[in-house]
Amino acid sequence: MLKKLINRIKNKKISVCIIGLGYVGLPLAFRFLNAKINVIGIDSDIAKINKIKSGSSYIENKSFKKNKYYKEFQKKVSNNYTKVGDADVIILCLPTPLSKNNTPNMSLLKNCILKIKKFVKLNQTLILESTVYPGATLELFNLLNSDKKFILGKNFFLGFSPERENPGDKLFSYKSTPKVISGFSKQCLSIVYFLYKEICNKVYKANSIKVAELSKLLENTYRSVNIGLVNEFKIIAKKLNVNIWDIIDAAKTKNFGFRPFSPGPGVGGHCIPIDPIYLSWYMKNKNYNSKIIEISSTLNSSMPVWVCNQIFNYLKKNKIKTNKLLIIGLSYKKNTADTRESPSIDILRKFVNKKFHVEFYDPYVKKYDFESKYFNNKSLNLKSIKKYKKDGIIIIGTNHKNINYKNILENSKLIFDTRGVYSRNKNKKIIFV
Ligand SMILES: NC(=O)c1ccc[n+]([C@@H]2O[C@H](COP(=O)([O-])OP(=O)(O)OC[C@H]3O[C@@H](n4cnc5c(N)ncnc54)[C@H](O)[C@@H]3O)[C@@H](O)[C@H]2O)c1
């Protein structure tokens, strides 16, 4: 059976069903399509399905419309879970957010498993790409297999392969970045291996599913901790009246043992603010308090408040009376439209609460629905910037490319730069926060 399945993968005679067509799932679907592998797409969001069907992509920098397989794929996208039965491989790319009490919210994955349960059949392979706590992949399989009809490695196959998608980044992609893969058993791993070989240049076989799950958590915790450290250094530098960017520039000349991270207004997106908490929550259940993980998460999430306090104090100290704010960059990081957990939104909220008239400009975000009040993206022209020259402030919340920062500087009065877009400029109207 195994040999037959692997041969079918090698001969591209399989169907892959991807559930969750978001930042991870949709590009993954196109990787399989480009490898001439049949893809069935399932998403619970009708608006997204309609967008795919109408040919518009909701993921920036990814224009799929010209893809020669687009037409074929459009027909195979739906919210119909029965389609799972037509696939050989099912890949789950669903969100893994936090609940209100800051604990892992696995309900989307669990509900999905319960929905597909009656359509899943013998000899299929289930792969999870969502980021989860260690052991969660097997827990999900056990939920699927509550009637014990599947035996892993014999008549059903299970794998985990964490996604390393970096939205908005053209430099690193699945073409240059190795993909970590894992399987429940040798047989499971070989199916997962031959499948991903079809779409990746390099795959790395982790020793077990748990190793692969933890490797993703280590990667994102590493980022969270190092961003936390450099954010703390930003606070230290401010207290000592030294430019943080000058410090980083000097430190990064060391060509071993140091990797520069950029300070900012906090962290956002669906990974860095969330994934470390999946691990620390899990470890609490194992009677271990993950100290560094928790401290860096707390520090990063306190950064928007620190930024706002710096600005309010500056305005007070310098007797600047204004209630007009333009935020440049609303998404959580450069060159993406993703505003999930964005620190710019926290900053926006603080200023709205202080009765500021807030506008934003972001080349990627058309409008933002903030507590049922719509903020529209302002066009960034000379006139709109100059409005803030007379009386108003500008905050650089995200360092998107393709923004004329020179023009903004020349035509404004006071800029609070949270990202260092002016890191090498000594102009007095730039305040690094
Ligand atoms: N975005 C990233 O850069 C990134 C990178 C690496 C890993 N991840 C991980 O990948 C996973 C997915 O993240 P994402 O950013 O692609 O999320 P996303 O929100 O962009 O996409 C998830 C999709 O799943 C759909 N969905 C939700 N519940 C569903 C259900 N029950 N059935 C079918 N569809 C459903 C949503 O409508 C959405 O289109 C998360 O675990 C995340 O941590 C994300």
Domain presence at residue 200: yes
Q: What is the CATH number of the domain that holds 373?
A: 3.40.50.720
- In this structure, are 254 and 336 located in the same domain? yes
* Distance, CA of 376 to CA of 386 (rounded, Å): 18
pLDDT of residue 374: 67
Q: Which two tokens stand for residue 257?
A: 């043992």
Q: How far is the CA of 274 from the centre of ligand 1 (A)?
A: 13
User: Is 93 annotated as catalytic?
Assistant: no
- Do 174 and 256 fall into the same domain? no
- Below-50 pLDDT ranges, the chain: none
Question: Does 256 share its domain with 192?
Answer: no
Site residues for ligand 1, CB cut-off 6 Å: 19-25, 42-45, 48, 93-96, 108, 111-112, 129-131, 163, 165, 167, 270-271
167 and 270 part of one domain:
no
Ligand 1 atom 26: the closest Cα is on which residue? 20
Going from the Cα of 224 to the center of ligand 1, the distance in angstroms, rounded, reads 20
Predicted pLDDT at 61: 57
Burial of 75: CB neighbours in 10 Å, binned 0-12, 13-18, 19+: exposed
Active-site residue, selected from the candidate residues 17, 93, 112, 271: 271
Tell me, in angstroms, the distance from the centre of ligand 1 to residue 168's CA: 16
Distance 375 CA to ligand 1 centre (A): 25
pLDDT of residue 175: 76
315 vs 334: CA distance, rounded Å: 27
Is the domain of 132 the same as that of 46?
yes
What total number of domains does the chain contain?
2
> 349 with 370: CB under 8 angstroms?
yes
Question: What residue's CA is closest to ligand 1, atom 28?
Answer: 108
C-alpha gyration radius of the chain: 24
Domain that residue 287 falls in? 243-432
- Residue 160: beta bridge partners? 128, 182
The predicted structure's pLDDT at residue 165? 75
